[in-house]
């Protein structure tokens, strides 16, 4: 079983729709959590960190559920420019820190 799992999609949604992605992680010692965005043939870039209390950044909301070991990303009012792959990242400490990526969920927002 992979340490970090995501539904690969693709999610095809119309402009203006709300879409949610989930990500599960297996290491209960995981300490920090992130969502990254990757455009086609580009490097990943940080979208947002995920805090225990949940956090929001404009149209994006991230939630963490430590008991069930999953994190989520909600995108409201989708824009064409949101089309990308969204990567869930988990940082676990086992002597040193390792950032482990999920396989990514591909989103395509349709006009």
Residue with tokens 């949101």: 82
State which of residues 13, 26, 44, 60 lies at the interface with other proteins (CB under 8 A): 44
Q: Return the closest-CA partner of residue 82 out of 57, 63, 59, 62.
A: 59
| Choices 12-20, 37-45, 57-65, 71-79 (CB under 8 A): range interacting with other proteins | 37-45
10 Å Cβ neighbour count for 36?
20
Q: How many CB atoms lie within 10 A of CB 101?
A: 17
Give, as ranges, the residues between 1 and 20 that touch other proteins (CB under 8 A): 6, 8
Instruction: Decide: is 101 part of the binding site for other proteins (CB under 8 A).
Output: yes
- Give the interface segment with other proteins, choosing from 15-23, 29-37, 54-62, 72-80 (CB under 8 A): 29-37
d(CA 94, CA 37): 26
The total number of residues written for the chain in this structure: 111
Choices 11-19, 56-64, 70-78, 96-104; region in contact with other proteins by CB under 8 A: 96-104
Number of residues that bind other proteins (CB under 8 A): 25
Distance CA 86, CA 16 (A): 18
Question: Which residues contact other proteins (rule: CB under 8 A)?
Answer: 6, 8, 31-32, 34, 36, 42-46, 49, 87, 89, 91, 93, 96-104
């Amino acid at each position: 079983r992979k340490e970090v799992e995501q539904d690969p999609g693709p999610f095809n949604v119309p402009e203006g729709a709300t879409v949610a992605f989930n990500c599960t992680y297996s290491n209960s010692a995981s300490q920090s959590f992130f969502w990254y965005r990757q455009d086609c043939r580009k490097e990943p870039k940080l979208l947002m960190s995920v805090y225990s209390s949940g956090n929001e950044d404009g149209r994006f909301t991230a939630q963490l559920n430590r008991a069930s070991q999953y994190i989520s990303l909600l995108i409201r009012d989708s824009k064409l420019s949101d089309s990308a792959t969204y990567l869930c990242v988990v940082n676990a400490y086992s002597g040193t820190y390792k950032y482990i990526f999920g396989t990514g969920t591909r989103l395509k927002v349709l006009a």
